[in-house]
Amino acid sequence: MQLFSREVIENRECETLAAFAVKSGQSQGRMYATSVDSYRTCFQRDRDRIIHSKAFRRLQAKTQVFVSSEGDHYRNRMIHSVECAQISRGLCRTFGLNEDLGEAIALAHDLGHTPFGHAGEAAMNEILQGFDLHFEHNEQSLRVVEKLEKISPDFEGLNLTKEVLDGMLKHHTPFDRPKMKFVYSAHLEGQVVDLGDEIAYMSADIDDGLRSEVFSFEDLRGVPLMREILERVSHGYDLGIFDETLRARVSNALMRAMVEDVSTESQKRLLENKILTLEDVQKYPAVLISFSPDFRIALDLVRKFLLENFYHSPRVKAQTDHGQSIIRDLFSAFLKDPSKLPERARVMMADGERIEVVVKDYVAGMTDTFAERMWSEM
């Protein structure tokens, strides 16, 4: 029998993936040259480094929308990253793109997220602006994999391939960077993850919002796309269906609708713009992996609903306000007394890093639970 060695997989990629896909055998490589692996491609190896990183393990106790203590079935940021990776892999497969590259980017995209979700991120950004700095979780994710993780005495960070870093850098959703200029990806795999992220959190937030009873099926009927989905998935169940089953069907149907729209619209764009090679992708001045304009409008109404009825609901807000004050208190406590920082942070300061940056790295890296514990101790 023949083993699936790295070379075999690399050759298979060239034979089976689309011409515009990134091939692992043609990677631009890593910042620090290393030997190649016998069995894994460079992107598979990146994915493995990400999964085995400390920052990835901490995602299990970081809020997505609901703090983890609310219940076992709400998403935390690790589950969100896994869901994002699953959707991204599926889309990559549909388009003939490199699944391993998409998976690695998806698993890493939120590594730099603060505790306490987007509210935590907003608080951190506000604090840093007082020091002429800013906080943005995509940038911090890059900092985690390029600097903060320490797995080898020979290099800083995880030493990932250029392609994974590119995908992380260009990662954006309207939610992530509301005011920032739109940037396009160096490859379609990165664009897939941008959408995979959005598909994952939109469908999950509908599920989590219903589960927590922060909003109801009835409330959802006020949103055209959700009303249409609700009618479709409950059709034929004259005796009614359990709320739990209906919830699953609604969130799955939304996910499916998003995946189907992205697939048909992106295929259309790739064909119409005669995108054949990776070079064509990089030369094209707009996104190619996208929702259709009409669907985008419908989806924006779902997002608006979630914003008003979930993210800004009194119950979620009570949690996030508490999280924001924890971040502010911890930040000023470490700033006042740097001896409370861990050794690694103090070494970074001795190497010339600004204290505000070191404290930002430390606090942003914390899980909700760790931050909460430190805060009560202090």
- The least distance separating Mg ion from the CB of residue 175, rounded to whole angstroms, comes to 8
Q: Which is nearer to Mg ion, 123 or 199 (CB)?
A: 199
Q: Which is nearer to Mg ion, 110 or 361 (CB)?
A: 110
- The least distance separating Mg ion from the CB of residue 109, rounded to whole angstroms, comes to 6
- As a whole number of angstroms, the distance between CA 99 and CA 127 comes to 38
Which residue of 13, 46, 83, 110 would you call a contact of Mg ion, by CB under 5 A? 110
- Angle value at C-alpha 215, between 214 and 218, nearest 5 degrees: 155
- The least distance separating Mg ion from the CB of residue 290, rounded to whole angstroms, comes to 18
Phi, psi of 178 (to 5 degrees): -60, -35
- The least distance separating Mg ion from the CB of residue 40, rounded to whole angstroms, comes to 25
Q: Which is nearer to Mg ion, 41 or 64 (CB)?
A: 64
Q: Which is nearer to Mg ion, 55 or 374 (CB)?
A: 55
Stretch that binds Mg ion, among 37-45, 191-199, 301-309, 340-348 (CB under 5 A): 191-199
Q: Which is nearer to Mg ion, 163 or 197 (CB)?
A: 197
- As a whole number of angstroms, the distance between CA 36 and CA 175 comes to 37
Instruction: Count each helix (H run) and each strand (E run) in the chain, helices first.
Output: 18, 0
Stretch that binds Mg ion, among 36-44, 193-201, 211-219, 297-305 (CB under 5 A): 193-201
- Does 83 help bind Mg ion (rule: CB under 5 A)? no
Give the residue among 10, 15, 47, 51 at the shortest CA–CA distance from 27.
10
Asked if residues 159 and 34 have their Cβ atoms less than 8 Å apart, the reply is yes
- The least distance separating Mg ion from the CB of residue 116, rounded to whole angstroms, comes to 15
- Does 194 help bind Mg ion (rule: CB under 5 A)? no
- The least distance separating Mg ion from the CB of residue 169, rounded to whole angstroms, comes to 15
Q: Which is nearer to Mg ion, 107 or 186 (CB)?
A: 107
Asked if residues 334 and 365 have their Cβ atoms less than 8 Å apart, the reply is no
Q: Which is nearer to Mg ion, 121 or 166 (CB)?
A: 121
Residue with CB nearest Mg ion? 197
- Helices 77-95 and 243-272 pack at an angle, to 10 degrees, of 40
Sequence-distant (6+) residues with CB within 8 A of 171 are: 105, 109, 138, 141, 190, 193, 194, 197
- Does 197 help bind Mg ion (rule: CB under 5 A)? yes
- As a whole number of angstroms, the distance between CA 109 and CA 142 comes to 8
Per CB under 5 A, contacts with Mg ion among 274-303 are none
- As a whole number of angstroms, the distance between CA 179 and CA 342 comes to 34
- The least distance separating Mg ion from the CB of residue 77, rounded to whole angstroms, comes to 8
- The least distance separating Mg ion from the CB of residue 173, rounded to whole angstroms, comes to 7
Which residue spans within the chain are E strands per DSSP? none
Q: Which is nearer to Mg ion, 40 or 113 (CB)?
A: 113
**Site size toward Mg ion, by CB under 5 A:** 2
| DSSP characters over 46-58 | HHHHHHTSHHHHH
Phi, psi of 355 (to 5 degrees): -60, -35
- As a whole number of angstroms, the distance between CA 155 and CA 34 comes to 10
Q: Which is nearer to Mg ion, 13 or 110 (CB)?
A: 110
Stretch that binds Mg ion, among 3-11, 22-30, 103-111, 152-160 (CB under 5 A): 103-111
- The least distance separating Mg ion from the CB of residue 171, rounded to whole angstroms, comes to 8
Residues that bind Mg ion (CB under 5 A): 110, 197
